[in-house]
Structure 1
Amino acid sequence: MNAEPAATQNIQVLPSWRRAVLKVGSSLLAADGGGLSPRFALGLAQFVSASLAAGREVVIVSSGAVAAGRAILPRAEEAGAAMAARQALAALGQAQLIGLWQRFFERPVAQVLLTHDDLRNRRRYLNARATLNELLRLGALPVVNENDTVSVDELKLGDNDNLAAIVAALIDADVLFIATDIDGLYDANPRTNPAAKLLPEVAELTPEVFAMAGGSDNAMGTGGMRTKLEAAAKAGAAGIDTVLFNGRRAEVLRELAHDRLQGTRIRAARSRIAARKYWLRHAPVEPGAILVDAGAAAALAGKGASLLPGGVVGAEGDFRRGDMIEVVLRDGDGEHRVARGISQYSALDVRRIARRHSRDIESILGYNYGGNVIHRDDLVLL
């Protein structure tokens, strides 16, 4: 049903952005007779292409694998338990989903399958972030989906909206775009209430705002407006605004390519930088420390530098890659807590590469997670 009121009278200018996550749900990709349709995907791809041509970076979080698999083997769900059947359909349809997106772009499309566990585990979180950042650096277009063939609970919840918010925080996006099949957030259900009013902006996600959200009205989709608000809350906690818009309206997508929104903008509670620094400052630290010399301490404090192995003199404790660790300077005046941050290397590895040049890391360890012991984006001064 597409009887929602038009949003053309509610156009607003969006702030400039450099990197974004675009979440696309099954309702925009599923064909009426089963499988995937390019009908709405084409307009979304044109928005992405315009953004890329403007020098911006986009990561797509796309649902639709189960819908695609259902068209390949329409009787698969009859063969076994519901969950196993849906997981099998997701496995069948994932290649079709990536193929759909690849047909719209000359640049390579990269498949990235994640689970929430991948992003809760700090080491796997760092690996996922490094992979996505490298794909963007290489000019590829990452298309992320849940690894539905193994993520049982996540598949039941169908929360690619929330996955998109986590990915947005993972890559330090400036904005999270959520394409849906209605014009945005209304004060009532626009499908059943013709007097429903579109909310062009939400300054704060209060219980009253959540009360406006309903469930999914689409047979192919598993999320609804409430999951989109939950995603906006997660993104907002990382300082990222969320934009809801109708991915079925070509004119909306054309305007969006020029930073003009017909939809709903949900503002973050604080700036992206402030949210990141707040988390780094208050997240629990692991026992132990990375010990540095005076030169490294001065570079961290005065130049906003990353911590390089050449300025490290040792490590205490038994921390692992991805742990939050304090950086400590010891001199004749005692011990000084300089900073805290996420270590790219374990305590054992830090001891082995201490006082060495970044270019020597791989020859010493046999592998390389980058030239920084702690990257400046993962560090906050104390």
Structure 2
Amino acid sequence: MTPASPLPFAEQPLPAWRRAVLKVGSSLLAGEGEGLSPRHALNLAQFVSSSIAAGREVVIVSSGAVAAGRGLLHRKPQAGAAMAERQALAALGQAQLIALWQRFFDRPVAQVLLTHDDLRNRRRYLNARATLQELLALGALPVVNENDTVSVDELKLGDNDNLAAVVAALVDADALFIATDIDGFYTANPRTQVGAQPILDVEALTPEFFAMAGGAGSGVGTGGMHTKLEAAAKAAAAGIETFLFNGTQAGTVSALARGALIGTRFRPAQNRLAARKYWLRNVPVEAGAIVVDAGAANAMGQKGASLLPGGVTTAEGDFRRGDMVELVLRDDAGERRIARGVSQYSAVDIRRIARRHSREIEGILGYTYGENVVHRDDLVLL
């Protein structure tokens, strides 16, 4: 069968963004023979550098460790390779992957290895978020990858597409850029279906769109168009826009730097703040509560402030760091639920630091997770 000639995508304006996650698949990093190649990574790195120079922040989610490990051992990809072999290849190749990215930047590149289990567990989620935010504050470039060496169920089809969407929500990104080896999303597989039409803008990902998606497009990566739609749907649920583009085309990548998209735009159903507040309002709360005084209640309600330990009178129950708990005001008028939020400290720790200044936390506990008991970004008023 003669491959179909894909129809071109028209250029469209890229909306403004402040912080983004860029997902780069194995197909863009693998060499013609074995190992990794800088051919397409260089253009993507230039987009990242120009974005940072413009005052934006970028986190890269990069595949390629397994492919890099194969290159070191001169092994060809094999269907049905044993899990232990793939994990060993990932361990060998991870250093090569980070070295590839570091060569393009004059700022430090930080390796961050995660599994989906890290992000499902709320306490580990908070720790990962704090680390990534601190790396950005330090001016480093985080490069995130699935921790393939210890993953079992997580090392599977298209995992890094979905991981990138979760990381975008983790760091409160405005945008998720997915670099792939196809121009964008089509009504059918443009490599095999003559007349497949490019789709420039997707308002909402319905089952009909998923039915259009095919399987993996190369023998190097593990993801296909279906997993990219899954990632776009996850990002949309968090209020984050997704932009799918061809990372092998230098003109397409350079267009991003000047504020233009040649690819597909997936819009969220609601803005990022509304999506987060919805989650905060509806996730189940743990037993117990943080009891606050009138001053703290007023600061949170009228000024949008975080909850500091000085405004806490006590904590009830046995909840842990990262749990969703209710914030309660008790005064002469009785008891009122005023808010709910993700606690940065356990109930035991809060009882020890209640009524104390934030700068005393480390001296009392021997460690600190920051000055806030509940950060305003993790809090919603009732």
AA aligned opposite 2:98: I
**Structure 1 unmatched ranges of 5 or more:** none
Partner of 2:13: 13
TM-superposed deviation, 1:75? 4.6
SS in 1 for 2:185: coil
Residues 131-170 of structure 1: matches in 2 within 5 Å? 131-170=131-170
Mapped to 2, the partners of 1:194 and 1:257 lie a distance apart of: 32
Q: Over the residues paired in the alignment, what is the CA RMSD in angstroms?
A: 1.5
In structure 1, C-alpha distance between the alignment counterparts of 2:228 and 2:142, rounded to whole Å: 21
Residues 258, 214 of structure 1: CA spacing in aligned structure 2 closer, same or farther, 3 A cutoff?
same
1:226 aligns with 2:232: no
- Counterparts of 2:75 and 2:218, CA distance in 1: 21
Amino acid at match of 1:13: P
User: Is this contact kept in 2: 1:232–1:242, CA < 8 A?
Assistant: yes
**In the alignment, what sits opposite 2:35?**
35
Contact 1:314–1:354 (8 Å) recurs in 2? yes
Distance in 2 (CA, whole Å) between partners of 1:2 and 1:81 is 29
Alignment of 1:64-75 (within 5 A): 64-75=64-75
Q: Which amino acid in structure 2 is aligned with residue 287 of structure 1?
A: A
Distance 1:89 1:182 in 2: 27
Helix, strand or coil at the partner of 1:155: coil
Name the aligned partner's letter for residue 281 of structure 1.
R
1:96 has 2:105 as partner: no
The Cα offsets for residues 216-275 of structure 1, whole Å up to 9 and x where unpaired, read as 120001110000000001000000011000001111111111221000000111110000
Q: Which residue of 1 aligns with 2:380?
A: 380
Any idea what SS the aligned residue of 1:280 has? helix
Question: Which amino acid letter does the alignment assign opposite residue 326 of structure 1?
Answer: E
- Say whether residues 1:188 and 2:163 are aligned partners: no
Equivalent-residue separation in structure 1 for 2:98 and 2:228 (angstroms): 23
CA contact (8 A) 1:245 1:264 kept: yes
Secondary structure of 1:156's aligned partner: coil
Distance in 2, matches of 1:21 and 1:63, equals 13
Aligned partners of 1:307 and 1:375 also within 8 Å = yes
Output the amino acid matched with 2:281.
R
Q: Which residue of 1 aligns with 2:207?
A: 207
Cα distance in 2 for partners of 1:178, 1:94 equals 20
- Structure 2 distance, partners of 1:369, 1:26, is 36
1:193, distance to aligned residue in structure 2 (A): 2.0
User: Hey, what does 2:106 align to over in structure 1?
Assistant: 106
Q: What do the CA deviations read for 1:273-324 (whole angstroms, capped 9, x no partner)?
A: 0000000011100000000110000001000000000000000000000000
Query: What does residue range 252-331 of structure 1 map to in structure 2 within 5 Å?
Result: 252-331=252-331
CA apart distance, 1:3: 6.6
Decide whether aligned partners of structure 1 residues 75 and 30 sit closer, same or farther in structure 2, where only a CA change above 3 A counts. Answer: closer
Aligned residue number for residue 130 of structure 2: 130
* Residue identity opposite 1:336 in structure 2: R
Aligned AA (2:291): L
- Rounded Cα–Cα distance in structure 1 between residues aligned with 2:197 and 2:248: 19
* Residue 6 of structure 1, CA deviation: 5.6
* Equivalent residue letter for 1:242: T
Find the aligned partners of 1:344 and 1:4 in 2 and give their Cα distance: 54
Q: Report the alpha carbon displacement of residue 14 of structure 1 after superposing the two structures with TM.
A: 1.6
The alpha-carbon deviation at position 4 of structure 1 amounts to 5.0
Structure 2: tracts of 5 or more residues without a match: none
Partner residue of 1:60? 60
Q: CA deviation at 1:7?
A: 3.1
Aligned partner of 1:82 in structure 2 is 82
- Preserved CA contact (<8 Å) 1:76 1:89: no
SS at match of 1:111: strand
TM-score (norm 2): 0.97
The 2-side partners of 1:253 and 1:224 are apart by: 20
8 Å Cα contact 1:110/1:141 also seen in 2: yes
8 Å contact 2:353–2:361 — kept in the other structure?
yes
Deviation string 1:191-229 (CA, Å, 9 cap, x unpaired) is 012311110000110111001100012000111000000
Aligned-partner Cα distance in 2 for 1:85–1:195: 41
Alpha-carbon distance, 1:15 to partner: 1.3
